[in-house]
Structure 1
Amino acid sequence: MPSGGGSRLRSAWFDGYVDRIVQRDARDVRRVVDPRRLATVLKLLASNQSGEVVRAKLARDADIPDTTMTAYLDLVETLYLVETIPPLANSLRTRQAGKAKAVVADSASAMHLAGVTSGCATDLVTGGELLGPLLEGLVVSELGKQRTWSETGFSLFHYRETSGIEVDVIIELDDDRVIGVEVKASQTYRPEHFRGLQRLSERLGDRFAGGVVLGTADHGVQFGANLVGLPIASLWEL
């Protein structure tokens, strides 16, 4: 096969997959839908993978009326294409900031929709700015799958304070305990990677069951009584 043939085939497959969804599957759920606008919404969400959803900006960039954007966002969730992660509230409400995050559930689709091609491989391998959001999306997607069969019920949130301190993923167990997860595109574990988890531990007290930094290293570290660093692969290997 000529050089680049595999990439072209993959691209054609994903183009066909997305086209089938926006042209046919979406209409099975909602009869009145603009396929072009729906495809644009998906691309914009993928380009901001794991980012907070600012509806007004998304509507403007997609050329969709604000009043219609909610319906499009509901549609992509109903089709299981996108998962939204709300901010953790409850007793932390007073200092919290932020909106729901959106994650295109399938990482390969997210890369294709965002225009991440083989030409971006160096950036991904070296931990460039593309890798972090994609890894966070992968973690959220994996946790979402595990939620369907886990014997322990849990919900997913994220956490951000007005000061800028944040934790990528919050796992709130049915007994109200919380596990914090930070995702880092790094092969080393640094003290600053645990800063948000330490802050969350201070805020939650006994509710904080533990925190983990998931990175690209092939080993783990202990960073305190209830804080650890682990390879991302531990999500499905442990």
Structure 2
Amino acid sequence: MADAWHGNRLNRLVKRPKLHLCDTGIASALLGMDGPALAYDRTLFGQLLETFAYQELRRQASWHDVRMSFHYFRDKDGAEVDIVIDGGASDTAGVEVKASGTVRAADFRGLRKLRGPLGDRFAGGVVLYDGEATVPFGDRMHAVPLRRLFDRPS
């Protein structure tokens, strides 16, 4: 389960927890969804893809020396960031997950909202998507192919 991320300067935050099952295969089976059904129900596919990315990022964070906590961000105006990775007193990053082969500037709305109050603590914002290229979208913002989660570090 991911708790809502908040900082003292974000006074219009929605603080309901968000539930992520540990295994998207089990979640799909419990929902009676197979590959063709998920291809048809893009909304559910997107939710499972977000959960998959969340769990993979948590696994990879466990290998690092810096302790990271995972949250999400949503304000009362509807701006949302699927995954907020907080490195404590150091850096905070945001990750949006899109079940799409294209990314638009509007997909960074929640990340821009998160960046504002963080200032220099904002390490960066990433939209993970089903595309091929890593594309910059302004200061510390990038669209990154989801498959990059599995690339070996260089």
| Structure 1 length-normalised TM | 0.60
The structure whose Rg is larger is 1
Q: Which has the higher strand share?
A: 2
> 1:194 corresponds to which letter in structure 2?
F
1:112-162 Cα distance to aligned partner (Å, 9 max, x none): 1122124405326xxx11211011000111012123222222100000001
> 1:218 corresponds to which letter in structure 2?
E
Give runs of aligned pairs for residues 48-59 of structure 1, distance below 5 A. Answer: none
Residues 1:158 and 2:72 are matched in the alignment:
yes
Contact 2:134 2:145 in 1 (8 A): yes
The change in CA–CA distance for 1:176 and 1:91 in structure 2 (over 3 A counts) is farther
Contact 1:123 1:130 in 2 (8 A): no
3-state secondary structure, aligned to 1:168: strand
CA shift at 1:111, angstroms?
A: 0.8
Q: Quick one: higher RCO (CA 8 Å, sep 6+), 1 or 2? A: 2
Q: What's the counterpart of residue 88 of structure 1? A: 5
Give runs of aligned pairs for residues 68-147 of structure 1, distance below 5 A. Answer: 84-123=1-40, 128-147=42-61
> 2:52 corresponds to which letter in structure 1?
L
Residues 1:236 and 2:145 are matched in the alignment:
no
Q: Percent identity?
A: 34
> How many corresponding residue pairs?
152
Task: Give the RMSD, CA atoms, in angstroms.
Answer: 1.5
Q: What's the counterpart of residue 55 of structure 1? A: none
Any unmatched runs of 5+ in structure 2?
Answer: none
The change in CA–CA distance for 1:91 and 1:176 in structure 2 (over 3 A counts) is farther
| Structure 2 length-normalised TM | 0.91
